[in-house]
Amino acid sequence: MPIYDFRDELGNTIEKVVPVGTTKLVQNGKSYKKVPVPSGFSFIGRAVGVVPQGEQVKAGYHKLEQDKGSRFLDRSPFTAKQIKKAWGF
């Protein structure tokens, strides 16, 4: 069962786990209607296992070099030195 946001006529909201298709809810004598757009949420803390962007770029360049050799820079308007400087390599 999913969790949905419900709002009463005064604008108070509650979150409840209800069966799919539930549009109305009565809680403690108050009537609530399902909010048409779900509210956003985020997790606070530190992401574990996410590789930093610089490392992802390095891995991408490494893969291109393995696949195409040094030719992968032939179509780029930038030199290898400029690319390395831009990414702080």
- Rounded Cα distance between 26 and 49, Å, is 43
Provide the residue type at 32 as one letter. Y
**Helix extents (H) in 1-89:** 53-68, 80-87
Task: List the structure tokens of 78.
Answer: 């930038």
Cα 75 off chain centre by:
32
Q: pTM value?
A: 0.45
pLDDT reported for residue 43: 74
Residue with tokens 């069966």: 19
Regions of the chain where pLDDT drops below 50: none
Q: To the nearest whole number, what is the mean pLDDT of the chain?
A: 82
How many CA within 13 A on the CB side of residue 83? 12
